[in-house]
Amino acid sequence: ACPTWQNTKGSQILRRRNATVHVVIIGAGLIGLSIAYALTRRNASVTVLERRKTAAAGTSGASFAWVNASAKTDNKAYFLLNWAGLQAHERLAEELGNDAWLHRVGNMEWVSPDSLPVLSARVDYASTMGYDAQLVPAATLNAELNLPLPLDPDYPVAWFPREAWVDVPLLAQILTTTIVQHGGTIRTASQVNAITQQGSRVTGVTLTDDQWLAADAVVNAAGPDAHRIAQMVGRQLPLRPEPGLLLSLAVDSMELPCIVHTPEINLRPDGEGRLLLHHQSVDRTLGDELDLAPDAPPCRELRERAQRLFPALVAATSLRAAIGIRPIPADGYPCVGQAPELDGYFEAITHSGITLGPVLGDLLGEEILSRRVDPLLAPFRPNRF
């Protein structure tokens, strides 16, 4: 039988600690899969429900997938959570015995001269916190990476050698296989119609085919659809959805040795013979169309910017454009944990879901089973909405 929850001095604990805990996770993006992986490793009974035909086919599959904390230095708690995210990826590679999905190539960034003080402050802050970050002359990186940066030799460039990019489809495949091996279930093409409750306690979910699945805990990891899932338990979850455009190129004439961020274009390797392009300034020009051809105007803009940086890319071929909708809570920070006054209903919604997926899996998985809130998650609770 399923264990039941009771209140003790305001917190929820398992009444029968040896009973199997049944958890339903809504959403099979990297966050949902990471939570499922962590829970099955802790012997919970887990069912992941994904409305698409495959896992990680939504926002996770249309992500620049850059694992970092260097872009999050404006908030200490958020910086520390993302730094823990980077370390969680490294641990996950060891646990899985397979790091083919984690490309630890480092990240370089340069900015316009008027933005140098801000970049320098970010590097100083990260370095002071123990994060591997430094400003180096462009000529130094040119020599070390054999990359012809179009900068004066002494121009300062930020270098973050521990940062990485993730092959999301490969990691999703590995996690999916591991979850099933540990006894979990992943159901694709399965859409939730309702979350059932008994009083203030969640009891399960009903699917659109009217099938009911019992659960002690339900996790809303539905990404851009999270606000609709939250409404099923009477919650208003304000999201600020933002589109992000990626363009994949086939290249024969050059290899990119690391992730590159510049004032006009961001690039990273994307497997053998491929590059991935993105820039937030192009994202701001996007309309409501979510299906763009690789030669659509925003894609051409990305490509032209990349060619100005690396003229050899004139010979590249545009392969695929993808737009992902980032599920950003209204204040810009993660929304993770049990919602107030709702025993057994948890949320895991955030931007930077690739960086944060494994660490949120670890921390929220532990919270679901023990009801202990990790200090890293304390600033990002659902009760602020």
374-385 confidence digits (pLDDT tens): 999 999 999 999
Say if residue 12's pLDDT is above 50: no
Residue 13 has pLDDT above 80, yes or no: no
Record the tokens describing residue 357, joined without a space: 């997926």
Structural domains in the chain, CATH included, are: 5-62+168-239+330-384 (3.50.50.60), 103-163+240-326 (3.30.9.10)
Answer whether 45's CB lies under 8 Å from 20's CB: yes
Q: Which of 8, 46, 7 is nearest to 27 (CA)?
A: 46
- Contacts with 250 (C-beta within 8 Å, 6 or more apart), sequence order: 273, 274, 316, 317, 319
CA neighbor of 367 nearest in space, from 380, 354, 355: 380
pLDDT band at 5 (very low <50, low <70, confident <90, very high): very low
Nearest residue to 58 via CA among 244, 336, 239, 329:
244
Percentage with pLDDT > 70 across the chain: 95
Region 75-94: what's the mean pLDDT? 99
Conformation bin of residue 70: beta by default, left when phi > 0, alpha when psi is -120 to 50:
alpha
9 pLDDT higher than 50: no
**238 pLDDT exceeds 80?**
yes
Asked if the model's pLDDT at residue 283 lies above 90, the reply is yes
pLDDT score recorded for residue 330: 97
pLDDT score at 214: 98
Angle at 227 between CA 53 and CA 276, to 5 degrees: 55
Tell which residue, 66, 76, 88, has the closest CA to residue 125. Answer: 76
pLDDT at 100: 98
Question: Cβ of 312: how many Cβ atoms within 10 Å?
Answer: 12
pLDDT at 205 over 80: yes
The rounded mean pLDDT for the chain is: 94
Region 261-283 average pLDDT: 97
What is the signed CA dihedral for 249, 255, 258, 261, rounded to 10 degrees?
A: -50
CA distance 190 to 199: 26
Which residue, among 39, 80, 92, 371, has the nearest Cα to 221 in the 3D structure? 39
What number is the average pLDDT over the span 138-167?
Answer: 95
- pLDDT value at position 69? 99
In this predicted structure, what is the pLDDT of residue 152? 95
Residue 253 binned pLDDT confidence (cut-offs 50, 70, 90)? confident
pLDDT band (50, 70, 90) for residue 254: confident
What does the pLDDT average to over 96-119? 98
Residue range 314-330: mean pLDDT, rounded: 96
Res. 63 pLDDT band, cuts 50 70 90: very high
Q: Is the dihedral of CA 343, 347, 348, 350 positive or negative?
A: negative
Which of 240, 232, 221 has the alpha carbon at shortest distance from 333? Answer: 240
Residue 262 is predicted with a pLDDT of: 98
Residue 18, pLDDT above cutoff 60? no
- pLDDT at position 15 is 34
Instruction: List the structure tokens of 82.
Output: 């993302």
Condensed to tens digits (0 to 9), the pLDDT of residues 122-134 reads 999 999 999 999 9
Token pair in block for residue 31: 């966050």
Task: Kindly state the average pLDDT of the residues 14-27.
Answer: 76
